[in-house]
Amino acid sequence: MKRIVLLSLTLALLLVAGLATVGAQKAGMVYLIEQDSAGASAAGASAAPAWADAGTKGWNLTMLSDIGIDFYIFKAAAGAPMAIHKSDVEWIAYVLEGNGQLLLADAAGKQTGVVNFKKGDYMIFRADTMHGWKGGTAEAQILFVTPTKK
């Protein structure tokens, strides 16, 4: 089951990254593709979610949730830290813009290492893995994909 979830997340992330790269998606819009009452495919459009304060100074996010998958895009200001924490679900991150540091930590929250990330890097996280963040030399934008919590 974990492999199916991870594969689904990976495919969703690759789809989003691919669409952004080739420009097939109109910027700032969300398109819902579904079957209408006559049985034909239909596309509904709405504005993309607004940016919000992520609760940590220098970090903002936008979120979209559907079909059992949550998409988050975080914007990290240059040098902005995010404290050591963990998530109870697996997730994948793709660096859309910028650079920074992923801080590795032990179960007690003590830093044990650093991963320097840059545009185009992927990071795959297992559930309950301690980590923190620090923005790099310019604003970073990171796409996160997780299964929706039930």
Residue 28's pLDDT is 75
Q: At 97, which CATH number?
A: 2.60.120.10
Residue 45's pLDDT is 73
Residue 80: inside a domain, yes or no? Answer: yes
**How do beta strands 91-97 and 140-147 pair?**
antiparallel
Global pTM reads 0.73
Residue 15's pLDDT is 45
Residue 48's pLDDT is 73
Residue 125: inside a domain, yes or no? Answer: yes
Query: Which of 58, 134, 74 has the alpha carbon at shortest distance from 100?
Result: 134
Residue 27's pLDDT is 54
Residue 87 to residue 130: CA distance in whole angstroms = 8
Residue 118: inside a domain, yes or no? Answer: yes
Residue 73's pLDDT is 93
Residue 86: inside a domain, yes or no? Answer: yes
Domain of residue 103: give its range.
2-27+47-147
Taking 70 as the pLDDT cut, the residues of the chain under it are: 1-27
For the chain, how many structural domains are there in total? 1
Residue 32: inside a domain, yes or no? Answer: no
The answer for residues whose C-beta is within 8 angstroms of residue 11's C-beta and 6 or more apart is: none
Residue 105's pLDDT is 94
Residue 26's pLDDT is 41
Residue 130: inside a domain, yes or no? Answer: yes
Residue 21's pLDDT is 43
Residue 35's pLDDT is 82
Residue 101: inside a domain, yes or no? Answer: yes
Length in residues, the chain: 150
Residue 35: inside a domain, yes or no? Answer: no
